[in-house]
């Protein structure tokens, strides 16, 4: 069994807590140490026993809180060499950095973390699956394009965290300058609701228990729209469907093999 909660999700800060009976890991740390603690407690967990932090890419909304967290808790931080080289200047002096290559599998006390490359405008962005006792959590956020590799790695997940960033029409009509719109829409940008839907469709299977929509754009999407679209895909499927928020943690979910 794996427990997980998205403590925050969106362009102002991301962090995912994944736990077993004896191990906890974080994926990304774009929240302050205070917020991490408050939100973890709000779902009935603590950061005690945190064993590792995994970083997807160097954008500030994924790494801003890394420095304080790792200095206070002395946990190792895993990332690729290029991600490490491109961290923002304010995220410096990290103790215990562990470098891996995209594609590596890293075991952390019973949780098998597998990395895989994704397409995003960062130095060497990766995403992860986390497995324990047969239960598999797959995540894909901050990617502009769903590759065969992404589909293959997420295949068979019992829990899915999928980016549902924007509605292309809202993006087009919105206030973002054309350059930024192009960046978001591009192959190295962010997934639209429709792109998420087609990925979700491909990943449906009887063992899927939880689908969490993530990294929803404040300006170019609405949680209701993203939910409505995903709910269509999940019609007649029993999986729970939730949307992650920027300012509050999701409930704590459990998945089993
Ligand atoms: Zn992001
Ligand atoms: Zn990003």
Q: Closest Cα to residue 17, out of 34, 82, 43?
A: 43
Q: Which two tokens stand for residue 244?
A: 């992650």
Q: Closest Cα to residue 79, out of 106, 52, 57, 111?
A: 57
Instruction: Give the separation between CA 96 and CA 224, rounded to whole angstroms.
Output: 41
Whether 55 and 79 have beta carbons less than 8 Å apart is answered as yes
Instruction: Give the separation between CA 230 and CA 160, rounded to whole angstroms.
Output: 12
Q: How many A from CA of 144 to the centre of ligand 1? A: 11
How many residues comprise the chain? 257
What are the pLDDT tens digits along the chain (257 aa)?
Answer: 999 999 999 999 999 999 999 999 999 999 999 999 999 999 999 999 999 999 999 999 999 999 999 999 999 999 999 999 999 999 988 999 999 999 999 999 999 999 999 999 999 999 999 999 999 999 999 999 999 999 999 999 999 999 999 999 999 999 999 999 999 999 999 999 999 999 999 999 999 999 999 999 999 999 999 999 999 999 989 999 999 999 999 999 999 99
Q: How many A from CA of 8 to the centre of ligand 2? A: 14
Instruction: Give the separation between CA 250 and CA 43, rounded to whole angstroms.
Output: 8
Q: How many A from CA of 42 to the centre of ligand 2? A: 26
Question: What CATH number is associated with residue 116?
Answer: 3.60.15.10
Q: Which residues surround ligand 2, an ion (CB under 5 A)?
A: 59, 142
Q: How many A from CA of 257 to the centre of ligand 2? A: 31
Nearest bound ligand to the CA of residue 120: 2
Q: Phi/psi at 233 (nearest 5 deg)? A: -65, -35
Nearest bound ligand to the CA of residue 125: 2
Q: How many A from CA of 221 to the centre of ligand 1? A: 15
Residues whose CB is less than 8 angstroms from the CB of residue 231 and which lie 6 or more positions away in sequence, other chains included = 241
Strand arrangement of the beta sheet that strand 105-108 belongs to:
105-108, 111-117, 126-132, 135-140, 159-163, 210-214, 240-243
Q: Which domain holds residue 57?
A: 2-255
Q: How many A from CA of 236 to the centre of ligand 1? A: 31
What domain count does the chain have? 1
Reduce the DSSP state of residue 39 to 3 states and report it: helix
Q: How many A from CA of 195 to the centre of ligand 1? A: 17
For helices 193-203 and 223-233, give the axis angle rounded to 10 degrees: 30
Instruction: Give the separation between CA 140 and CA 178, rounded to whole angstroms.
Output: 25
């Amino acid at each position: 069994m794996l427990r997980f909660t998205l403590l925050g999700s969106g362009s102002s800060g991301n962090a995912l807590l994944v736990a077993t009976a004896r191990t906890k890991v974080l994926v990304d740390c774009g929240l302050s140490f205070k917020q991490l603690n408050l939100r973890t407690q709000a779902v009935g967990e603590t950061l005690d026993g945190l064993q590792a932090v995994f970083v997807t890419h160097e954008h500030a909304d994924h790494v801003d809180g890394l420095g304080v967290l790792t200095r206070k808790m002395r946990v190792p931080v895993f990332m690729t060499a290029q991600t490490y080289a491109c961290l923002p200047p304010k995220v410096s002096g990290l103790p215990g950095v562990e470098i891996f290559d995209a594609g590596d599998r890293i075991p952390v006390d019973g949780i098998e973390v597998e990395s895989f490359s994704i397409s995003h405008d960062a130095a060497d962005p990766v995403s992860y699956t986390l497995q324990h006792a047969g239960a598999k959590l797959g995540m894909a956020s901050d990617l502009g394009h769903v590759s065969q590799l992404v589909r293959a790695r997420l295949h068979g997940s019992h829990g899915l965290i999928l980016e549902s960033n924007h509605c292309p029409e809202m993006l087009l009509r919105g206030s973002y300058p054309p350059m930024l719109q192009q960046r978001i829409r591009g192959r190295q940008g962010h997934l639209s609701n429709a792109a998420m839907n087609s990925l979700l469709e491909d990943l449906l299977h009887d063992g899927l228990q939880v689908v969490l929509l993530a990294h929803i754009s404040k300006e170019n999407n609405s949680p209701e729209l993203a939910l409505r679209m995903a709910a269509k895909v999940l019609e007649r499927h029993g999986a729970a469907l939730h949307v992650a928020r920027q300012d509050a943690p999701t409930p704590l979910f459990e998945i089993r093999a």
